[in-house]
Structure 1
Amino acid sequence: MATALHPSPKPLQLSLFFPSTTNFLSPILPSLHHSHRHRHHSLKSSIPKIPFSSSFRNGSNTPPGTECPVPQDQQPINEYQTLSTSFPFSWAAGDIVEYGSRLFVTGASFAILIGLPVAWFGAVGPDQEPFKRIICSVSSGVLVVTLAVVRMYLGWAYVGNRLLSATVEYEETGWYDGQIWVKTAEVLARDRLLGSFSVKPVLSRLKFTLVILAASLFVCVLLLINIDGGQKLSNITSEIGVIPGVYNDESARAFEPDAFCGEPGLP
């Protein structure tokens, strides 16, 4: 008797009920990764970027696509860079403590090494007026510092005006062929930003310094006037009997007793 053979049933696939970790998360991870990249890209796009053109990296200060006929050494931004690193203009752009100490050392050195010897040995009888000689030497030091600060102010003001101006005056080969170039919008915005945030604070510092130096010079002049006035007054008081034009009865009787002979009060 023949027996019918039935094929054995196929084993159930356990992956349908218990999928592996890799197969189970594979459809989910790409979506998470995609959403993370999208959120990160949206976050980066919300931060404004400052463009850095290749021309600035290569050492040129002219934006790309701009034909600037101004020579490199006459461009305002190059003039600013040169001024900010030159002596003594770089003092004003440095630290405030270093700036003040350099001015003080300059004035004190000039007053001690030059002003004091000239005031002390260049006058007659300096031993009688030592305070006056010291004031003269201090005034010379303050005056030298004032001249240096004025020179720095003029240099920074010149560069600041060229940065803030919409046009640039330049010379191609000499003074006889002066030209004027109108800045582009990008160059004008860059120069005015630099002039407003880098040059104007320096000019304000120099103006404040000039006010202090002017007040110091005024005080020194007042002291010298008071010293000279006190000396003249003491000389007049001590020599009032012999100064021409000054007359009174007591001095006349003392120097000309014969003229008052027989009058009362004659010793």
Structure 2
Amino acid sequence: MATSPLSPPLLSPLPIPKLPSLLSTCNPNPNTNSNPSTWRRKKKKAISPISASSSSSSSSFRNGTPPETECPVPAEQLPVNEYQALSSSLPFSWAAADLRLYCSRLALTGGSFALFVGLPVAAFGTGAVADPQADALRCALGTASAGLLAATLAVLRMYLGWAYVGNRLLSATVEYEETGWYDGQIWVKTPEVLARDRLLGSFSVKPVLNRVKLTLVVLAVSLVVCVLLFINTENPKRSSEDGGGRAIAGVYNDASARSFEPDAFCGEPDLS
């Protein structure tokens, strides 16, 4: 029987599929391959973008580049930028400087205020008295009180600024303003940013705060002592003048009555 060259043979054996083809046919996920090496290679390719991003973020964190590139907080309101701005501004940078430089600048500030403001005010307030030693003591105490007051206010301003930045560094959230005070927002720090900020706050801000606290206590105690001494140091001339004819409220004084109403005592004997 003649067969057409285009028609297939009637008794042709069926092809037996190989095992890999069967496995690929039964595999529910057509994208995966049964070959373990090929599957591992594809898995590595799928994971490579994540690993690349994590490695780039870690390398940027080590190099000092801020990892909060997607952070909605404005740059000037980030705690790390606030710390850098505070540590380079006056008078806050004095607290982070060397101890000798810190003490000398405080002494210069207090001494300048005492010399140009406290001394003229104290000299004008005491006036000329019979005892020059008491006058000099009161003038010195007033001048020292003025200088200590200026230094105390400067240290108090330092403490408030460093405490504010330290709290923002140690906190897990950042409060910021997008355009003004009426649209405040809160951003939760990422683990990398939180670790960096807490390290900076613990090892850079806390020592400065401890120094400022100690200075503030010493200056406050010295100011209170000077003020008490200034108040308790009385003028001997004024005390002697006031001791003889000083009128007490609610008690009749004949000398005061005669001085205010001389006509009422005309022709009357002195009661004293």
Alignment partner of 1:81 is 2:87:
no
- Mind listing any 5+ residue stretches in structure 1 that lack a counterpart? 1-50, 248-257, 261-267
Q: 1:131 corresponds to which residue?
A: 137
Alignment partner of 1:61 is 2:74:
no
CA RMSD of aligned residues (A): 2.7
Which residue identity is paired with 1:224? Answer: F
Which residue identity is paired with 2:224? Answer: F
Cα distance, 1:225 vs structure 2: 2.3
Q: 1:233 to 1:121 in 2, by over 3 A?
A: closer
Name the SS of the counterpart of 1:179 in structure 2.
Answer: strand
**Scaled by the length of structure 2, what TM-score is found?**
0.64
Q: 2:99 corresponds to which residue?
A: 96
Cα distance, 1:89 vs structure 2: 0.3
Which residue identity is paired with 1:188? Answer: L
Q: 1:201 corresponds to which residue?
A: 207
Contact 1:61 1:77 in 2 (8 A): no
Q: 1:193 to 1:209 in 2, by over 3 A?
A: same
- Mind listing any 5+ residue stretches in structure 2 that lack a counterpart? 1-56, 253-268
**Scaled by the length of structure 1, what TM-score is found?**
0.65
Q: How does 1:176-255 map to 2 (within 5 A)?
A: 176-228=182-234, 233-235=239-241, 239-240=243-244, 242-244=245-247
Cα distance, 1:102 vs structure 2: 0.6
Which residue identity is paired with 1:208? Answer: L
Cα distance, 1:223 vs structure 2: 1.1
Q: 1:200 to 1:244 in 2, by over 3 A?
A: closer
Alignment partner of 1:114 is 2:149:
no
Using the TM superposition, name which of 155-164 and 173-182 deviates more.
173-182
Q: 2:27 corresponds to which residue?
A: none
Task: Tell me, in whole angstroms, the C-alpha distance in 2 between the residues paired with 1:72 and 1:85.
Answer: 17
Name the SS of the counterpart of 1:169 in structure 2.
Answer: strand
Residue correspondences, number: 194
Deviations 1:54-89 (A, max 9, x none): 3664x74235xx621111111000100110111110
Contact 1:88 1:152 in 2 (8 A): yes
Name the SS of the counterpart of 2:233 in structure 1.
Answer: helix
Identity across aligned pairs (percent)? 61
